[in-house]
Structure formats: C-alpha cells, structure tokens
Chains A and B, each alone.
Chain A
Amino acid sequence: MAGVFDRSVLLVTGKGGVGKSTVAASLARRAQADGKRVLLIEFESVSRMAPLFGLQEAPLEPVRLDKGLDLMGFDLLEALHGFAGDQLKVRALAKLALANKVVRGFFLAMPAIRSILFLYHLQRLEATHGPRGDRRWDLMICDMPTSGFVAGLFGVPAMVRMIFRVGPLAEVAESMSQLLFDPLRLGVVLVTLPEEMPVVETIELRHELRRRHGVDVAAIVVNGLYPELVDGDELAALSAVVAEPGLSSDDRHAAEQLLWAAEVMRGRAARARRVLPDLEHIAGETLVALPHLFRRKLHLDSIDALAARWRPDQRSAALRPRPPAGAVEVRP
C-alpha cells in the first residue's frame, strides 16, 4: 500500500458538479499543511482557487499563492508554444511558426491535442528543479475536466506511438507513458456524489481504467454526505405530537414544514447509505467520505475543514506492476 500523498502527481476527476475542484483544493491544502511544496493545476477556464487568494484568473505560469502552494492554469495555446519551443530548440522560431494562422489552427485542431500537450507539460513540470537542485514541487494536484477526458489520457501515449513510430514525438510518448503508468509517481482520484447514478459511473470508470489500461485508482472520494440529524423513530414521535389537537392551523402547517425539512435531510442521508456499501466494497480503505458543506460558494475555511479529513498517511490502492508498453487497446 502506498499513501495518496506519496505520489508526485494526482489527477482529480469525476462527473460534472461532484465537487472535483473542492476535493483537489482540499488535497492541496492538506499536503501544504504537512510541509509539502504543492502545485495546483486548474484545467477549467474559470478558476476556483485564484479568487480565494485575491487573483482574477489562474496564472499561465506557476505563481505562489501561499507558502508551499503554487497555482497555474493549463492554457492550450500557451502549452503549444512551450512544446513547439522545446522541439524546435528556439522559442523565437516556434513563436514565428505559430504566428501563422494556418499553422496555429492546424495544431490546435489536431485530435487529442489537449491531452498530448497536457501530458507533455505534466512530465516537464514534474522534472522541474528548484533553486537547491531538488525537485521544485513534491506534489502536483490537477483539477481535471470530466472523467472521460482522464480515461482518454491513458490511451494517448499508445496513439502517439502508433502515429510517430520514431522521432521526437515517439520519445515524448515514452516519457508520458512512464509517468502515466507508474503508480509510485501518478495517481487518479475519483470524486463522486453519494447518489446512485454518479456512483455507478464511478465504479464503471474504475473498472475501465483497470481493464483497459491496467491502472488502479489511488482513492475514491464520496463528497457531499448529508448528516444523519433525526432518525425514523424520532420522526415518528414528532409526527405524533404534531397530529395531536391544540395547535393552531398556522402552527401545525409550520410544524409540518419543519418535519418536511427533517424528512428531506434524512432521505438524502439514507440515499447515501444505500450506495456507500457498493463503493466500500470496491474501494475499501481507499474510500474517503467528505461531508456536505451546505454552501454553494467555495471558501478557504471550508476547504481547510475538508483538508483536515485527509490523513497524511491516507491509504491508497495496492500497487501493481506497470503493464508492458503498448498494452493499451486501440479499436480498429
């Protein structure tokens, strides 16, 4: 078993609206509090983290938010410039080539270009050195787009190898593959809500990653658990006293609404209880449950409250040897 925080890259993903950004931020704050140097990479054009530190947008290059916490936003065009600059050895030449609308349009329109450039930059950032010659970041946490994109990432090295059997891009594919398929370096964190549909899809995605790519997810996070405030017996007792005579019709109406609220809370907690066993069964100790915050807006204090839920030695999936190169299935 290796801890979630022992890797150098965590890809945080899940369906839309399950709280990926919140979970990614909580992981980053936890690692930061434990003395790690952390880089949070945001994928969406609208940054969640930047406003909490007084910035408008996520910066294109890593920028320090706090001691031990840097932030950057992944930008496709910026990444393309960086990649072309590296390959052509001369950044000015890359700039000149990409200044041409047709050339730029061609590269940005290449299928899977976003995945290719993201992986390229990820392995480059991982290898970045700090002033003392050691690695600049202990942990890079990526707030990823929806799970389909992340599942697709694992097929990218095989695709690139299939097109470019030799040459510079074949070498890039090799180092991407080494990063992606090394469970000591990279882990996938799946986030879900405690509801039937997202849970089923999470279980399927976990299965798909394992079957098609030989990748075990590092942790499954079930986010937004409702507290169990009032149980069924208590609700029954309450209903009985509300039904007794003596209440004005206004008060009875209000009391019924109060019980309605308790019923809603209980129903949502019960809904979570029904789906949790399935997740526990497949995820075991790697399952992490985070409470509902009852806020629609992200605040640093609520992120830190969630961060406190992560244990520094958070268990993670059993490690398996990496699959042989080219083990990725490509449909004809």
Chain B
Amino acid sequence: MSSLRLLESVDRARLLVTVGSGGVGKTTTAAALALLAARRGRKTLVLTIDPARRLLQALGLDGADCPPNTPLPVLPRLHQQLLPADGSAAYGLVAPEHTSLDAMMLDPTLGAEQMVERLLPNPALREEVLGNRIYRALLPALGASPDLVALELLAELHRRDQYELIVLDTPPTHNTAEFLQAGQTFAHFINEQVLKWFAKVPARDESRRPGFFSRGSVAAMGVLGRLFGSEVLPDIAQFFRSFRDVMPAMRARSEATDALLRSPATRFVAVTAPGETSLREARHMLALLQREGLPFAGFVVNRVLVLPQALGDEARVQAIAASLVARLERTGMEPLVASHLAARLCDGASKLRDLHLADAAHVRSLRTMLSLPSFLSIVPQLEHDIHTLPELCDLGARMVQGCDTPAANAPAPAGASRPSAAAAGAG
C-alpha cells in the first residue's frame, strides 16, 4: 500500500526535501529518489551538498570539468554505463526526449558570492560588499554553514522553473530546524532594525553624524561598542549600510523560500538508520515538521539488517549447527575442532540476530509514529558503497519494494521464541 504514497511523491511533488541526521545515507537517498523520478518521466534536478566522493563519481560530478553550482546531465551517462546490455533502460519507461536528470553540487563559498551578485544587481554596490573586509572575513563561515546559501539557490532554481521536480539534499547541518529557518535567521542578522543601530555610527572619515538617537539605538550602540570595541564599529556599520537598498528584495526572497517549503507541492522525506540516537532524532524531526506545518511524505530507513527466517530461531540454529558438526567429523575433522567451528558459526548468527532484533524494534517504533498516508521504506544494509548509476537505480527500486517488506512489517521472526528480548529492544 504505502509504496503508492512514495511513488505519488516522486510523480507529483515539485520539491522533495530529504532531511535527517548525518551518516544515515541522506545524500544517496536523495540521488536515488531523483533518478527514480527521472526514469518515471519527470524533468528532475538533484541538488546535493558535500556528497561523498563515490556518489559524486556515480553522478559524474567528480571530474575537473564539472564546475560546482552548475547542473550536469546524468541520464546520458547512465545510458552509456548500461550499454551494450540495454542502453534504452536508462530512461526507464520513457522516451529520452521526455525526461532528464540534472545533478548539481553546491559549493557554499561560491554560492555565497553568487547570492550577493543576485541580491545586488548594482555593480558599484556589489563591489562595495564583495570588497568589504567584514564580508570577506565572513565568507568562509558562510561556506562552513551552507544552510542559507542552499535555500537561496533552491529559491532561485524554483523561480527559473526549468524542472518539474527538484530534489534537495539538506546540508549536514547542526539540525534540521536550523536549516529550515536559515532564511529567517539571516533576516535577523541583516534587517531594518539592525541597520538603524548602525545608521548613526559615523563613517571613518566623518567626525559625528548629526541627528537624534532613539533611546533604543543608544542602548544598542552602547552594548555593541562594548562587545565589539568602538574602534571597529565604523567598518561594521559600513558593511550593514551596503545592504540598505536591497533589504526589501531580500525579505521578499526569504518569504518566497518559506512559502515554497510549506507549499502543498513540497514533500519532506525523513531519512534515518537503525540506532537509538537516530530513532530519537527521527521523532524530533517528525514533531518539528508537524509543528512547522511542513508536508511530510514518509520515512526511508537505511541499513536495516534483514535476517533470513531460520536464523531468528536460536534453538533451530543450534540444531543445524550440531548436524553440521556430525557431518564435518565424518570428513575427518577432529571433533573438538568441528564443535569449535560450529560454536563460532552460532556466535556469528547470534550477533546478527541481536542487531536484527534491535532493527526490527526500531522499525516498529517508527511505524507507531506514522499515520496514513505516509510511507515507510525499509532499505537493507548494502555490503558495498554505491559506485555506479545502475547501482543507484537499483537502490531506487529497493526503496519502492522496501515499502512492503514483510520483514519490516511483521513482528520479528524471533519474536515468537524470544518475546522478552524483542520487547526489551523496543526501548
């Protein structure tokens, strides 16, 4: 049932945003969803931030001829990689002219410069900001926290309206709440009120600005002077004054981004992986999306250990191991050696079973958080990194299948024989 909901998001949404804590496979999930959408006939862009090298290679974004912040077509590469076996499969069920997938990697520092260029169309003013000592000092910091730059680029891409679907991989940020509020946060940093504090600071070549000081701005100046040192205030004031004329345009953009995130055509996909912390973060994430009124589509749970049925039953594992010992002895193996080997075999199975029980409990907890019509897609742990586009295609197919995985839906196979262990793992 719930795979319909996943496919509905892929087929209908204008914006898919993958959210989740670091290390859960968020970027890979975003790329796989985008590829899935393109192969189902939608002109798609995936915007990724700081992806792993392997994924860059898979998407073809790792070469020297691949400038950042520039969309690059992906499907022709997939076409080549599938040749000669079945090149036409690259385009899924769609004619090549009816679909496309572009991938873009965000370089936040470059993005910050491009953002200033878009915001400040006046060349003189732009030169003033770009040459400002404070702006130049802040640039690496903007690069280190790409939230604002990513949101700004997203809004710009949406405005250009070249794609049917944009898949946004959110940056490895401190938390998702901060990312979603980056536009508003920036509006706290540069706004009319803050400008007012600095408006009365004399420039370096002036002695004193005439005019009245409001009580608020006197207090603010006093505090700012003591915090920053009065010597640097003129430079800081100059920095803020550069933004004076573009303030309304900036606010309009920030509001547009906010509206885009809340649009009914936007879907948030929460990506998670087994583990106590991930589970707590997933709960926080869901609460955040609900509180902010952001449209939630479903969970993708990566790296779940799916165990073959027989291994869930410890007694059965022991019995099978015993029969293997007997057979090994018949081949001439020392009884002690054979039983030692069987014990290690059982040990391995039991370790995997422990992980599996914890993962099954994790999935059940996620399920209790969900209300219809959300999807819950269970993706098994892969035994290798994703290197190629065909592997990424395969991952997308697994995500669709994973919505209906019985191992995830049904109680853990070992639940019948070890109910207490399964229940204990649920915490």
Contacts and interface: CB of A to CB of B under 8 A. Distances in A.
Interface of A: 15-18, 21, 44-46, 48, 84, 87-88, 93, 97, 102-103, 105-106, 108-112, 114-115, 145-146, 148-149, 152, 155, 159, 162-170, 195-197, 200-201, 229-230, 234, 237-238, 240-242, 244, 247, 251, 253-255, 257-262, 264-265, 267-268, 271, 292, 294-298, 330-332
B96 interface: no
B172 interface: yes
A237 B277 contact: no
B327 A264 contact: no
Given A105-B185, A201-B53, A260-B308, 18 more contacts: A17-B23, A45-B284, A88-B227, A97-B219, A106-B194, A109-B189, A115-B144, A155-B144, A195-B385, A229-B344, A238-B341, A241-B324, A242-B324, A251-B323, A254-B310, A265-B351, A296-B362, A297-B425
Given A169-B228, A258-B310, A332-B136, A229 B345 contact: yes
B317 A258 contact: yes
A100 B228 CA distance: 18
Contacts of A15: 22-23
Nearest to B140: A155
Contact of B227 (A45, A84, A170, A298): A84
A115 B144 CA distance: 10
Contact of B358 (A46, A259, A296, A330): A296
25 contacts: A17-B22, A17-B23, A48-B277, A84-B223, A111-B141, A115-B141, A145-B174, A148-B172, A159-B137, A159-B141, A162-B133, A162-B136, A162-B137, A164-B228, A167-B229, A195-B385, A197-B52, A230-B348, A240-B331, A258-B320, A260-B308, A262-B348, A294-B354, A294-B355, A297-B427
A294 to B, nearest CB: 5
A112 B172 contact: no
B127 interface: no
A242 B276 CA distance: 38
A159 B358 contact: no
Contacts of B345: 229-230, 238, 258-259, 261-262
Contact of B348 (A44, A102, A155, A265): A265
Given A247-B323, A332-B136, A296 B274 contact: yes
Contacts of A268: 383
A230 B341 contact: yes
Interface string B220-257: 10010011111110011000000000000000000000
B352 A46 contact: no
A166 B355 contact: no
Contacts of A261: 308, 311, 345, 348-349, 352
B134 interface: yes
Given A258-B311, A258-B321, A196 B231 contact: no
Interface in B335-351: 341, 344-345, 347-349, 351
A258 B320 CA distance: 8
B316 A109 contact: no
Contact of A103 (B140, B220, B311): B220
Contact of A264 (B136, B230, B352, B427): B352
- Among A97, A111, A115, A332, find the residue whose CB has the most chain B CB atoms closer than 10 A: A111
B144 A152 contact: yes
B275 interface: yes
A187 to B, nearest CB: 21
